[in-house]
Chains A and B, each alone.
Chain A
C-alpha cells in the first residue's frame, strides 16, 4: 500500500497555443512521499502542479489521482479536488472571511460538515499552523506568512490525500519564510504526501524524499537530494544549481 502511487502522470503534455510548456512528463508520487520540483523560471513547474488538479487542462497524456483519471471530461473534478490540497504563491485567501471563515467555507459547502464540526476542525488546523491567536482576524490584518499558513490550514481542513505547494514562500519577506517552511516540514514529518515547487534549496535537501529537476517542459534528472544536489548528472542541472548557490 505504501508504495502505491497516489499521483500518476504519464506522457503529460500541455500547450498554450503554440507554446508547448510540458512535453511528456512521467511521474509517480507514492503515499507519504515528499517530491520537490526544481527548475528555472518558465520550465513548466507550476503548470505541472496545476495539471494535477486540472486547474490547467492537459493537452495530452494522462493524470491519475488514486484510481481516477483526472483529465477525462466525465470525471467529477470537484470530487477529485476535495482530496488534493493546493497552496498558491499568492495565498489567495478569501478577503471577506476571517481566518476561521476561510478554513470553514469549503468544509461546509463542499464536504457538508456541520457548522460546529467545521468550526472545530478550523480551530484545530489553525492551531496546527500556529495561528490559534489569529482565528478571527481578516486576511488584511495578517502578515504574509500568517496568511500563507491560513491557506495551508484551509487546504488541510479538507483532509487531502496529497498537497500541492507552488512556490509558497516566494512572495514572503525573508523573515517570514521560516514559519511557513516549518509548518511544511512538520506536515512532511506527519506523513503527508506532498508535491512542492520551491527555490528553497535548504528545505529541499532536508525534507525531500526525491528531488525532480525540470527544464523546458521535461524532467531532466531526478533522485534523492544527495544525488541531485551533490552529484548532478546533467549539465543543465549543474548550471542551475551553480546559479542558485
Chain B
C-alpha cells in the first residue's frame, strides 16, 4: 500500500486529499504553466462508498489550465452507469458556480459537454451519483480525455480502489430488489423468521459456526466413549472404592445441568491457573459430561448380555477382561449403537450451550447476527444446520432399533412382541433363545 501512487493514497485518506487539494489550488497554476499542452491538471477521483457491487458516488476533481469544452470518463468494464445523475460545479475560491452540463452514457463511457465551456483556471468538481460498482474490487482506473478549444487531450488515468463484495451480500442486495421478496416480506412472520436477504447472508456465515460445532463434538465424542467405557467398568468393579468413585462421578455429572458444568469449567480452570483455549475447554467439558451418560449406556448394555455368555467364556478359562473383550463387548456394541447415537445427537445439540461462554460455534454465530440485524432469520438458518446433522441420525437410530428388534425378536420366540409396534417382524430363521431379549438401555437424558 505504501508504494501506491499519491493519487491512490488520496482516495484512501481524505485528510491527505485535503492537503493535496489545497496545494493544487495554489501551486497548480505554476505547474500548468510549466507543462504546456495539459489543459487539465491535478485530476483525482474519490468514491463515497467502496463496497463492491453497491451504488456509489464518484467525485471527480480537476483544475483547468485552459478552457474545457467536454470531458470523457472511460470507466473499466463492469461498471454500470445506466442510472447515474450528474452534477458539475466549478469552485472559485469557496464559492460554487453551477455549470450547465449535458451528459451521454455509452456503455461504461461517460461524455460530459459543457456550454459554455469551463474557463481556464477553474477547479472542476463533477459528482456522478448512482454508479453501480462491479462485485470484484481492487485497483481500478478511469481514462480521462477532454476537448479543449477543439483539441483533444488526455491525462494520466486517476486510480481508485474498492472492496470485493461477498457473493452472499450481492445475492442479498439482488434479493432486496426482487418483487416477490418484497411481497414475501410484507408478511411479518416471514420477514422476521425467513427473510430471504437474511438467509443469503446467514448461510455462509453460520457455516463456519456449524463446522465448529461439528468439530467440537467430533473430537469430544471419541474421548467420551473411552471415558465412558472406563467409567462403566469402574462402576462394575469388584473394588468398592473404584465402584463408588465411578458412581459418584456419574451421578454428579448426570445430576447437574451441563450448563452449570460449563460455567464451572470456564470460570474455574482459569482460576486454577489452567489457560486453555476456549475451544479446548469446550471439548473437555463435553467429553467429561458425555462420558457419564455413555458409562450408563455401556453398563446397561453390558449387563443386558445374558450372564450365560460370561459363564461360557469363564468355563473355557477366559479371564474377566478376555471375556469382556472377546465375548461381551462385541455383543454390546450392536445393542448400544442406537442409544449411543442418540447420545451423540444430544451432545451435538448441547454444543449450543458453549455459546454462553464465548465459544464461537453455530449458536453464537446465529445469535450475534440475529441481534445485530434485529431479525430472527439467522436462528432459523441455525436450526436447519442442526437438523442437517440430527435428522439423518435420528432416522438411522430408528432403523437400527428396528433391525435390532427383528434380530432379537427372532431369537426370543417366547416373547416376540417385547419390542412390539410396527417394526416387529418374525425373523425367518427361528432358533431357540441364545441370549436374553433386548438391551434395556434407557434414554439418557
Kindly state whether residue A85 has any CB partner on chain B within 8 Å: yes
Closest Cβ–Cβ distance, residue A88 to chain B (whole Å):
6
Closest Cβ–Cβ distance, residue A154 to chain B (whole Å):
7
A residues 81-114 touching B (CB-CB < 8 Å) = 81-82, 84-86, 88, 90-96, 105-106, 109-111
Contact between chains at A55 and B316 (CB < 8 Å): no
Contact between chains at B411 and A53 (CB < 8 Å): no
Q: How many residues of B contact A (CB 8 A)?
A: 28
Contact between chains at A143 and B431 (CB < 8 Å): yes
Q: How many residues of A contact B (CB 8 A)?
A: 36
Contact between chains at A110 and B318 (CB < 8 Å): yes
Q: Tell me whether A53 and B315 are in contact in the complex, defined as CB-CB below 8 angstroms, given that A90-B433, A93-B434, A147-B434 are known contacts.
A: yes
Kindly state whether residue B168 has any CB partner on chain A within 8 Å: no
Kindly state whether residue A74 has any CB partner on chain B within 8 Å: no
Contact between chains at B431 and A86 (CB < 8 Å): no
Closest Cβ–Cβ distance, residue A164 to chain B (whole Å):
8
Contact between chains at B317 and A96 (CB < 8 Å): no
Contact between chains at A85 and B434 (CB < 8 Å): no
Q: Chain A residues near B330 (CB, 8 Å)?
A: 96
Name B308's contact: one of A53, A92, A96, A140 (CB within 8 Å). Answer: A92
B residues 412-445 touching A (CB-CB < 8 Å) = 427, 429, 431-435
Closest Cβ–Cβ distance, residue A78 to chain B (whole Å):
5
Contact between chains at A81 and B315 (CB < 8 Å): yes
- Of B334, B410, B434, chain A has the most CB atoms within 10 Å of the CB of B434
Q: Chain B residues near A106 (CB, 8 Å)?
A: 313, 316-318
Closest Cβ–Cβ distance, residue B403 to chain A (whole Å):
13
User: Which of B21-29, B222-230, B319-327 participates in binding chain A?
Assistant: B319-327
Contact between chains at B308 and A147 (CB < 8 Å): no
Closest Cβ–Cβ distance, residue B205 to chain A (whole Å):
47
Name A84's contact: one of B315, B327, B427, B433 (CB within 8 Å). Answer: B315
A residues 48-69 touching B (CB-CB < 8 Å) = 53, 55
Q: Which residue of A lies closest to B328 (CB)?
A: A94
Kindly state whether residue A142 has any CB partner on chain B within 8 Å: yes
Q: Chain B residues near A88 (CB, 8 Å)?
A: 308, 311-312, 315
Closest Cβ–Cβ distance, residue A98 to chain B (whole Å):
13
Contact between chains at B309 and A142 (CB < 8 Å): no
Kindly state whether residue B373 has any CB partner on chain A within 8 Å: no
Q: Tell me whether A109 and B314 are in contact in the complex, defined as CB-CB below 8 angstroms, given that A88-B308, A140-B434, A171-B432 are known contacts.
A: no
Q: Chain A residues near B334 (CB, 8 Å)?
A: 96
Taken together as a complex, chains A and B put the C-alpha atoms of A45 and B363 apart, in Å, by 64
- A32-50 interface code vs B (CB 8 A; 1 in, 0 out): 0000000000000000000
Closest Cβ–Cβ distance, residue A147 to chain B (whole Å):
7
Contact between chains at A144 and B432 (CB < 8 Å): yes
Taken together as a complex, chains A and B put the C-alpha atoms of A162 and B330 apart, in Å, by 30
Q: Which residue of B lies closest to A106 (CB)?
A: B316
Kindly state whether residue A243 has any CB partner on chain B within 8 Å: no
Taken together as a complex, chains A and B put the C-alpha atoms of A120 and B317 apart, in Å, by 20
Contact between chains at B317 and A110 (CB < 8 Å): yes
Taken together as a complex, chains A and B put the C-alpha atoms of A84 and B317 apart, in Å, by 9
Q: Chain B residues near A141 (CB, 8 Å)?
A: 429, 431
Closest Cβ–Cβ distance, residue A50 to chain B (whole Å):
8
Contact between chains at B318 and A96 (CB < 8 Å): no
Q: Chain B residues near A94 (CB, 8 Å)?
A: 309, 312-313, 327, 331
Closest Cβ–Cβ distance, residue B43 to chain A (whole Å):
83
Contact between chains at B431 and A82 (CB < 8 Å): no
Q: Which residue of B lies closest to A173 (CB)?
A: B432
Closest Cβ–Cβ distance, residue B155 to chain A (whole Å):
85
Q: Chain B residues near A86 (CB, 8 Å)?
A: 312, 315
Q: Tell me whether A109 and B318 are in contact in the complex, defined as CB-CB below 8 angstroms, given that A92-B312, A94-B327, A141-B429 are known contacts.
A: yes
Contact between chains at B311 and A105 (CB < 8 Å): no
Q: Tell me whether A92 and B311 are in contact in the complex, defined as CB-CB below 8 angstroms, given that A139-B434, A144-B432, A147-B434 are known contacts.
A: yes
Q: Other than the known A92-B306, A158-B316, what 9 A-B pairs have Cβ atoms closer than 8 Å?
A: A55-B311, A55-B315, A86-B315, A90-B306, A96-B330, A106-B318, A111-B317, A147-B432, A155-B315
